Structure 1
Amino acid sequence: MGGPEPDEIVVDHLTKQYKRLRAVDDLSFRVRPGRVTGFLGPNGAGKTTTLRMLLGLVTPTSGTATFGSRRYHDLEEPIKRVGAVLEASSAHRGRTGRNHLRMICKATGLPDSRADEALALVGLTPAAKRKFKGYSLGMKQRLGIAAAMLGDPRVLILDEPANGLDPEGIRWMRDLLKALAGEGRTVLVSSHLLGEMQLLADDVVILAAGKLIQQGTVDDVLGSMNAAQVRVRTPQPAELTAALDKLNATVTAQADGALLITGADAAAVGHAAFTASVELHELIGERGDLEQVFLQLTAGKAGIR
């Protein structure tokens, strides 16, 4: 593997030990520019601890977390290199959204005009003069992203950015992050919304109990597991189940009377039915989804942290 690109996130043998608890355990992965990478794992998997080490908020026990080859604290003008939202935006309750962003601009040497540009980017221009105490959770999420984008950073790190957003807001978030990645930026997103991550992400990194479980493109990760399903309708479910037992396939009866089969593709199911003289009324191959693969990969590995 060659040297990292300047805007590439590089986590290399990263470990964080808290007394008897190892929150992150010898973790290594890369996040490439020009792509959205989903950072996934059960509660307590070590995702937030990893992001905090990447941003210099937590000191690693060992290993490194860098942008290219430089730690966050070593970046020149980090606000122009890295934008991050680790929780919903917080601000003085009596301050407007615009003034909140202008305060950040003043503290970091950015022109005030960036506040209005960032508000426009996240669709908050109509609420620019509204006080923060009147913002909904979804509006606070948008304001947090606006703050992260003030420096027009090349790297964006978001922890559960869809929290508090309605379906329209979630779609807006998806379109925004895809557009930012399309501009060549590096986008790392932690989320529990696996269906949304399947639509949003190009790549995924999956953790459990502080360890790397799987990484790669969404298509590769889906293809690496036996995630395909076959939906079947038959008047002879017992006979078909017996025939599929020989293939070590799993058959699950559905509420609508269909059988859902994993562990065998449509061709194998059809052949097994033909050999056993089982009549089929429906045979549909269905691609497995990210949630199914995630649950297979992390089964029994969730931690409590």
Structure 2
Amino acid sequence: WCQGYSEPGSGSDLASLRTKAERQGDHYVVNGQKIWTTNAHFADWIFCLVRTSNEGKRQEGISFLLIDMKSPGITLDPIYLVDGTRTPMRHEVNQVFFTDVKVPVENLVGEENKGWTYAKYLLEFERGGQAFGPRLRKAYRHLQTLSKTQMSEGEPLSADPQWREKMAALGMEIDAVEMNELMFYSSLKTGDAPGNMGSVVKMRGTEVGQKLTELAVEAVGWYGTPFTELRNYDSNVVPVGGEYVDDVSPRYFNNRKTTIYGGSSEVQRNVLAKAMLGL
């Protein structure tokens, strides 16, 4: 499966989406475009938000359709990111175009024009259910190893007091992310909906992840200059500067998107301010 939510001009303001589904007998006919669709080139199906009505509030005219990616009228266009990956079929995100795509009415999830409600519920799990803690902890260990191999004024960077202070502060932020995630998963275990904790986990998990990549770039200095050819799997170019350095810049650039997708950090702060602080 892949997810068809965002559109050009309708990302954080998802309710403004324009991909249209018109009911014609026992089918919907879908026309429009989705963007930033992760792994659409591997997916068999897409669950898709479409506009089925222009009446009332924008959120009230959205429906949730399941669409076979092999349907006539669907075309894909790869999007190559600034992380340097150019190997065919190893890209991450795509544009998906729908031109008179026929979708059986039985592929409608729930009620027509209620798709916004279902999408919001799913986003609670997307935002909080990504297990940021283990990945951040692994990246933190790699950063510790990296700092031991990089020299600063004749000594390993790991011995520099200012660097150690930065690493200690980052370690505490990872601890906090893990604690928030445990609260999130505890609510799921008891059968509760994730609610606002999904926003907390997503916001802090992605922001701390970006801090990790920023510190890694700082650690390797000019060794982190991105070499596009290193990102190809058949490359014979040998990395310069020690273990892990060839991956530092691509990870830094790729992680710029994490505080945007699934609802930007600004959106999450607005959600929390309204729901938890009553602002």
TM-score scaled to structure 1, two decimals? 0.25
The structure that has the greater radius of gyration is: 1
Structure having greater relative contact order (Cα 8 Å, sep ≥ 6): 1
Task: Give 1 or 2: higher helix fraction.
Answer: 2
TM-score scaled to structure 2, two decimals? 0.26
Task: Give 1 or 2: higher strand fraction.
Answer: 1
